[in-house]
Amino acid sequence: MTKILTVTFNPALDLATSAARVAPNLKLRCAPETAEAGGGGVNVARAITQLGGSAQAWVALGGPNGEALGALLDGMGLDWVRIDAPGGTRHSFSVTDDASGDQYRFVLTGPVWTEAQLNAVLERIATDTDDDSFIVFSGSMPPGSKPGFLPRAIDRLGARRVVIDTSGPHLTHQAKGIAPAPYILRMDSHEARDLSGLPLDTRLDSARFAEILRQRGAGSIVVIARGADGSVMAEPGGLWHVTAANEGVVSAIGAGDSFVGGMVMGLAGGQPPQEALRMGAAAASAAVLSEGTQLCLPQDYARLLPITALTRL
């Protein structure tokens, strides 16, 4: 399998708990919390590893939270490389309201990076990875990074196949088609609607917008997630839709990262984009069945993959 490397500049020590009812101005008594290593790239590498694949996570850590997060990475047997962060690793936490089933997710900020610090990491990746590797940038870019960082990263990494699943100004900048293009650009339907200014009510609407982005140069492959309606993909071979074999939602945490993990694992194993898309969708469907931040469990993935359907649009 081709090597997969994920990069997490702004990881988090993820805490998850629940309360009988979440209401303002009250002292809420919570259930015992669980602690997980969080951050988009960490989750992608975890998902790939849990599904039996191989990925190496490069993770920026600092301070006591960073030490605790590193211990969690060690405990789960993840192949990971430490990057020294310019400050303390952040917390994030989620609280589930037992009465309604609603989940409240709180994401704190992380340390501020300089351009020189970001460039030093890119140089290290370029030196230490093979030219045919997959490099995954998943999750928010760190404070201090400016739009244009990801195209600069793609340019520095050369022939390596870069996968981008981010948000905010960095996604907006990438969607303009700033060269060079990543191998894969992924976003959710809310982000696609914001970028297009259109409702994107149907699968075909989303797929056509994905193709507009692809033709613009935003990515060689563009994927738009449509939640319970699955995902669409525009690639040189055409437009595709894949179902979401959801049997109910226990926790949506990490579903998108599981999708990226499943899809990239498929591509790294030699699967064509269409089958890799199906693998990503099955991984995402498996993730929503797991509590907290457990991501996609292999037994759920194995059961859901055969019933995850692919259709050419």
Model pLDDT for residues 156-214, shown as the tens digit of each residue = 999 999 999 999 999 999 999 999 999 999 999 999 999 999 999 999 999 999 999 99
- Tokens encoding 22: 């979440």
Residue with tokens 């015992």: 32
| Burial environment of residue 25 by CB neighbours within 10 A (0 to 12, 13 to 18, 19 or more) | exposed
Q: CA-to-CA distance for 126 and 148, rounded, in angstroms?
A: 18
> Alpha-carbon torsion 205, 207, 209, 212, what sign?
negative
| Mean pLDDT value across the chain | 94
Determine phi and psi for 121, rounding to 5 degrees.
Answer: -65, -40
CATH of the domain at 98: 3.40.1190.20
Per the structure block, which two tokens stand in for 5?
A: 């490397």
Q: In terms of residue numbers, what domain contains 124?
A: 4-312
Does pLDDT of 98 surpass 70? yes
Asked if the model's pLDDT at residue 292 lies above 70, the reply is no
For residue 294, what pLDDT band results from cuts at 50, 70 and 90?
A: confident
Q: What are phi and psi of 139, to 5 degrees?
A: 105, 180
Please check the confidence at residue 96 and state whether its pLDDT lies above 70.
yes
The answer to which of 107-116, 172-181, 249-258 has the lowest mean pLDDT is: 249-258
Q: Give how far the C-alpha of residue 156 lies from the chain's centroid of Cα atoms, to the nearest Å.
A: 22
Residues 6 or more apart whose Cβ sits within 8 Å of residue 189: 200, 206, 224, 225, 226, 227
- Helices and strands (H and E) in the chain: how many: 10, 14
Q: What is the mean pLDDT of residues 248-273?
A: 90
- Nearest Cα neighbor of 221 from 170, 280, 269, 145 is 280
- The β-bridge partners of 5 are 56, 135
Tally the residues of the chain.
313
pLDDT at 251 > cutoff 80: no
Whether the pLDDT of residue 36 is over 90: the answer is no
Domain count, the chain: 1
DSSP β-bridge partners for residue 17: 95
Which of the four pLDDT bands, split at 50, 70 and 90, describes residue 295? confident
Find residue 138's DSSP bridge partners: 165
Record the tokens describing residue 274, joined without a space: 């269409």
pLDDT tens digits along 81-93? 999 999 999 998 8
Q: What is the pLDDT of residue 252?
A: 72
